[in-house]
Amino acid sequence: MVAQSEVAETRCPGTNIRVFAPDNASEARTCAAVLRGIEQLAPCGLAISEPVRLIHSPGPILNDPDCMGALHCDEGRIEMLHPSVLSARLRKALPLSDLDDAALVDFILLHELVHAAVTQMDTGSRVSQLEDEDIAQAISFDALPRAARDKLVSLRGFDRPVRKVELTEDFLWMDPIGFGILAWLHFSTPGNGCAFIARLMNGSSDLFDRRMFDHP
């Protein structure tokens, strides 16, 4: 483990995101993932304009042994488990043997970048915590390679329409990966996608909006 004082800080080019990484190689890798993540936010009109610091942590995060990453919004700080710990932990939760460790780390990074963008842009506090999580899960699952995601969806037996009653806080706490898959399935339903996210962001719809589900 590297002492905090030895950790280099760098600003990812063209962004407002500073990365604290133990060496140049992981700094470059993390910045490349940040830039890819920012590109993945753009189609849904999400962007990070305020400064964010990204820190790899030995954990535990938020005193939760299961937590892999978190956005401390009051401090503009994303805390993620160190990549070596994170990929092993995530591999247990997500049966995605086709993905390499870097792809698993990027999956969590994108999730946290979405939270940062939503938090910064939701100045009117229209987006509930559950909706924030729905958006982060939908976009990060959408960025997974299609074959890996399809496998996960069918492994969990979720290749069916999503019912409104399923995207709940209880289900999120009980089964965060299951919630993520359903959030993505709902997001990928024709007519939803970024348009649904825009409606959540501007407060014209919410996760309790029957019109957004074919199966209430």
**By the criterion CB under 5 A, which residues form the site for Zn ion?**
133, 136
Least spacing, CB of residue 7 vs Zn ion, in Å: 24
Find out whether 117 and 140 touch, Cβ atoms under 8 Å: no
Nearer to Zn ion, 27 or 54 (CB): 54
Nearer to Zn ion, 157 or 173 (CB): 173
Residue 105: alpha-carbon gap to chain centroid:
11
CA atoms within 13 A on the CB side of 183: 29
Q: Determine if the peptide bond prior to 43 is cis (ω within 30°).
A: no
Q: Residue 21: name the closest of 52, 53, 51 by CA.
A: 53
Least spacing, CB of residue 140 vs Zn ion, in Å: 9
* CA Rg value for the chain: 17
Q: Residue 37: name the closest of 21, 22, 17, 53 by CA.
A: 17
Residue 24: alpha-carbon gap to chain centroid:
25
Least spacing, CB of residue 101 vs Zn ion, in Å: 20
Least spacing, CB of residue 25 vs Zn ion, in Å: 27
Nearer to Zn ion, 27 or 48 (CB): 48
Euclidean distance between CA atoms 148 and 132, whole angstroms = 24
Least spacing, CB of residue 70 vs Zn ion, in Å: 8
Per-residue DSSP letter, 130:
H
